Amino acid sequence: MAPIKSIEYFRVKPRWLFVKVTDNEDKFGWGEATLEGHTQAVEGALDEIIGRLVGYEADDIEHIWQTIWRLGFYRGGPVFMSALSGIDIALWDLKGRRLNVPVYQLLGGKVRNKVQVYAWIGGDRPSDVEVAAKARLAQGLKCVKMNATEDMNWLDSPSVLDSCIERIKQVKALGLDAGLDFHGRLHRPMAKQLAKALEPYRPLFIEEPLLVEHPEAIKQLSQHTTIPIAFGERLYTRWDVKRFLEDASVDVLQPDIAHAGGISETKRIATMAETYDVAIAPHCPLGEIYPFSSFIS
């Protein structure tokens, strides 16, 4: 048991923000609070939080999580939750280092020795897709994730659907499975058409076919297609996730550990998802000390 002596943050290029928590025995842990494009905002949130936590017992991770969550009138959102995530991850790391065990031992121990992975191949240009997919195949991968489409208008030419189909056909022809990431670039009229058009090619999932600020539309889309729907990188707490689980509109939930309240909240979200028969795939495009970064692309 040792009180927190300091909490520092460090910007690291290209876009990372790391958090270091040190206790009064000079033991430390690292976390990540990267919020791409909003680094200064997260730093400001951390500045407000840090002063209140010095002297708190570093082992009391849940107490600290709840203290940060409840310390002001306003809660949630990407900035506040990324700051909270960075501190939470660092506290778990600190405790693991103090006890000389990996964090997974603190969470109940491991449940598997290997995990399925896919790798990112970009895919903005159809001409690049085949080259990138072949490179992943040579690495021994069996699944890839790729961009599905560029921005689309609310109503666009049906021809833009064809290029999306063409990309997945190229990848499937190589014997790879593929998940398609739409990054919320679609609107409902085109999403409905594209999901139907993609069904014969059986993508592993379609990710963020619509933005999460349209829960009604996502629910409708999920009832319209047999393709599994994945999203969650822009949901920040168990309360953000709740509606989508109740609506049965998500098949693969992708909380981002650096945005969704750290290891503590991600584990809670995973447990909630299990009770709705929804898979969990932690979202991870971020830095090198990010939990699971060696596993998930």
30 or 231: CB nearest Mg ion: 231
Q: C-beta of 119: minimal distance to Mg ion in Å?
A: 14
Size of the site for Mg ion (CB under 5 A): 2
Strands 16-23 and 28-32, by their bridges, are antiparallel
106 or 280: CB nearest Mg ion: 280
The active-site residue out of 183, 187, 214, 259 is 183
Question: Cα(278)–Cα(131) distance, rounded to whole angstroms?
Answer: 33
207 or 265: CB nearest Mg ion: 207
The distance of Cα 192 from the centroid of its chain, to the nearest Å, equals 24
Question: Cα(39)–Cα(36) distance, rounded to whole angstroms?
Answer: 7
Q: Do 161 and 127 form a contact (C-beta atoms < 8 A)?
A: no
Q: Which residue is nearest to Mg ion (CB)?
A: 181
Task: Point out which span in 30-38, 127-135, 174-182, 218-226 binds Mg ion (CB under 5 A).
Answer: 174-182
93 or 181: CB nearest Mg ion: 181
Q: C-beta of 74: minimal distance to Mg ion in Å?
A: 27
Q: C-beta of 36: minimal distance to Mg ion in Å?
A: 12
Task: Point out which span in 31-39, 149-157, 158-166, 180-188 binds Mg ion (CB under 5 A).
Answer: 180-188
CA dihedral (122, 211, 43, 95) in degrees, to 10, reads -80
217 or 230: CB nearest Mg ion: 230
Tokens, residue 37 = 């494009």
Q: C-beta of 295: minimal distance to Mg ion in Å?
A: 17
Q: C-beta of 234: minimal distance to Mg ion in Å?
A: 9
The DSSP code sequence of 262-281 is HHHHHHHHHHHHHHTT-EE-
Task: Point out which span in 79-87, 97-105, 175-183, 260-268 binds Mg ion (CB under 5 A).
Answer: 175-183
| Catalytic (active site) residue 63 | no
Cis peptide before 228 (omega within 30 of 0): no
50 or 168: CB nearest Mg ion: 168
| Catalytic (active site) residue 259 | no
Q: C-beta of 77: minimal distance to Mg ion in Å?
A: 19
Binding mask 194-233 for Mg ion (x = CB under 5 A): -------------x--------------------------
181 binds Mg ion (CB under 5 A): yes
For residue 136, which phi and psi values (nearest 5 degrees)? Answer: -70, -40
For 251, other C-beta atoms within 10 Å of its C-beta total 18
Task: Point out which span in 50-58, 77-85, 178-186, 288-296 binds Mg ion (CB under 5 A).
Answer: 178-186
Q: Which residues are catalytic?
A: 183, 283
Tell me which residues touch Mg ion (CB under 5 A).
181, 207
